[in-house]
Amino acid sequence: MNRRIIAIFGLCVAALTACAAPPTEHETTAPEGSHTATAPTSNLVAKADVREVEDALKTTLNGKDVDLFFDLVRDYNASVGDGLLHAAFDKPRAPKNDVGKIMDARDRNKKKGPDTNCRINAFVLLKDGLVVPENINSDDAMLFMDKESLAARPLLDEKETAAFTRLFSRVKTDDSKEAAHQGQVMEKYLSQITFPAGASMVSVVLHDNLDGNYLFIGHVGVLVKAEEGYVFVEKISFEEPYQALKFPTKDACYAYLKDKFKDDLDPGVAPPFIMDNARYVDAVG
């Protein structure tokens, strides 16, 4: 197997696993004592949870964008069924997702379109307040599954899809294994973009060197101020559920994501690192 084939295989694996921490067979759950175990978490099934998160998002973001996001949530949750989505803010335990049963339910039941992932959902929420210059050169090599999903489901118009591609472009970098250095590279790229005031696109950036050295947003969610603290909204992966988590501070949200990716370390590249909009936060590990 030549290097080019190996590189393409690596890109495919990375894209398939993006928007999720490494899964454990069919059930995913957080270890005791982790931030997921302690942060109030909801799959946005309970009406009270939906109302609370919707109000927090609409305080900062465009109401029509929030409505479109909740259309996706309702479509996903309806096809899975309440019995498989257990997380609610008033249940103080780590959520457990039986991914195998969830996927079976999604295959059996009616749904409006193909699954969406973390990047698509974050863009849907933020798009009205995003300014992504058209002169940014983008590399969509890692977005083939995102683009396939968007082509099959008319969530974004042509101009928005182009902005989506530029925002989540693969970013050329060097072979440094220092997260802070790679964070500066990502800061330079994302500083070209204007993000909505009052909202944070909190992302986990991965370094890949299989086909040259590149940075790529492997997971992302939206963090907004709530009545008490903050609410972070994410789609765990294409197949896995929506989650809204409550945190007292931004730092607690960053710590949650660091914990989520703590096992995703490769000594051959820089460790994953956290970005808040265009600002480097910290490395995983």
The model's pLDDT over 42-65, given as tens digits with 9 standing for 90+, comes to: 999 999 999 999 999 999 999 999
Picking from 4-13, 63-72, 79-88, 212-221, which range would have the lowest pLDDT averaged per residue?
A: 4-13
pLDDT band at 17 (very low <50, low <70, confident <90, very high): very low
pLDDT at 270: 98
Tell me: pLDDT of 226 over 90.
Answer: yes
Helices (H), 127-249: 144-152, 158-167, 179-190
Angle between helices 63-80 and 99-108 (to 10 degrees): 100
Bridge partners, 199 (sequence order): 224
Q: Please state the rounded mean pLDDT for residues 264-284.
A: 97
pLDDT at 243: 96
Tell me: pLDDT of 80 over 70.
Answer: yes
Q: Please state the rounded mean pLDDT for residues 218-243.
A: 96
In the chain, the percentage of residues whose pLDDT exceeds 70 is 87
Picking from 88-102, 120-134, 171-185, 242-256, which range would have the lowest pLDDT averaged per residue?
A: 88-102
Tell me: pLDDT of 195 over 50.
Answer: yes
Tell me: pLDDT of 82 over 50.
Answer: yes
pLDDT band at 30 (very low <50, low <70, confident <90, very high): very low
Tell me: pLDDT of 230 over 80.
Answer: yes
Q: Please state the rounded mean pLDDT for residues 235-258.
A: 96
Q: Are strands 97-98 and 230-235 parallel, antiparallel or unpaired?
A: unpaired
In sequence order, what are the residues at sequence separation of 6 or more whose Cβ sits closer than 8 angstroms to the Cβ of residue 81? 105, 109
Picking from 3-12, 54-63, 77-86, 219-228, which range would have the lowest pLDDT averaged per residue?
A: 3-12
Question: Cα separation of 209 and 283, whole Å?
Answer: 18
Tell me: pLDDT of 101 over 80.
Answer: yes
Tell me: pLDDT of 278 over 80.
Answer: yes
pLDDT at 60: 96
Question: Cα separation of 254 and 119, whole Å?
Answer: 17
Q: Which of 213, 218, 202 is nearest to 264 (CA)?
A: 218
pLDDT band at 32 (very low <50, low <70, confident <90, very high): very low
Picking from 30-39, 57-66, 116-125, 201-210, which range would have the lowest pLDDT averaged per residue?
A: 30-39
pLDDT at 29: 40
Question: Cα separation of 118 and 216, whole Å?
Answer: 13
pLDDT averaged over every residue in the chain: 88
pLDDT at 96: 82
Residue-wise pLDDT tens digits, 125-164: 999 999 999 999 999 999 999 999 999 988 999 999 999 9
